[in-house]
Structure 1
Amino acid sequence: MTFDALAALRQAGNPVDLLTAAQRDVLAELTEQEVGVLNSVKQRLDSVSDAEVEGHSLVIKIA
């Protein structure tokens, strides 16, 4: 079975369906290693974003 870069990116939560057809064509040609790098970067960004969101949801009551 051949590697499906778009499916692997999609499964990791990358919004590939929001891209143009030309952009998807480029991503479809990525190797498994390249997709692994992109997904790793996404995970790192997501972990930082999650921490920031938690900080914004903190409620402080004064009174």
Structure 2
Amino acid sequence: MTFDALAELRRAGNPVDLLSDGQRAVLARLTEPEVRVLISVKERLDAASDSEVEGHVSVKVV
């Protein structure tokens, strides 16, 4: 069975269908170990944002 990087990323909750065709093409060529790294990083980022209070900052660029 061939590894499907996009399917694996989708299964992990990554919104790959919102990306451009070019971006999806890049992700589709990732190897299984590369996809595992991306998923691991996303899980860590999600855990960090869930455990910390996130504030809203209004920034005006002049």
**Does the alignment reach a TM-score above 0.5?**
yes
1:1-63 paired onto structure 2 within 5 Å: 1-53=1-53
Instruction: State the shift of 1:51 in Å.
Output: 1.1
Residues in 2 aligned to 1:28 and 1:37: alpha-carbon distance in whole angstroms:
14
Residues in 2 aligned to 1:8 and 1:52: alpha-carbon distance in whole angstroms:
28
2:60 maps to what in 1?
none
Alignment TM-score, normalising by the size of structure 1: 0.81
Stretches (4+) displaced over 4 A: none
Pick the structure with more helix per residue.
1
Percent identity, aligned pairs only?
Answer: 71
Structure 1 portions without partners, runs of 5+? 57-63
Whose Rg is larger?
1
Residues in 1 aligned to 2:31 and 2:44: alpha-carbon distance in whole angstroms:
20
Structure 2 portions without partners, runs of 5+? 56-62
Alignment TM-score, normalising by the size of structure 2: 0.82
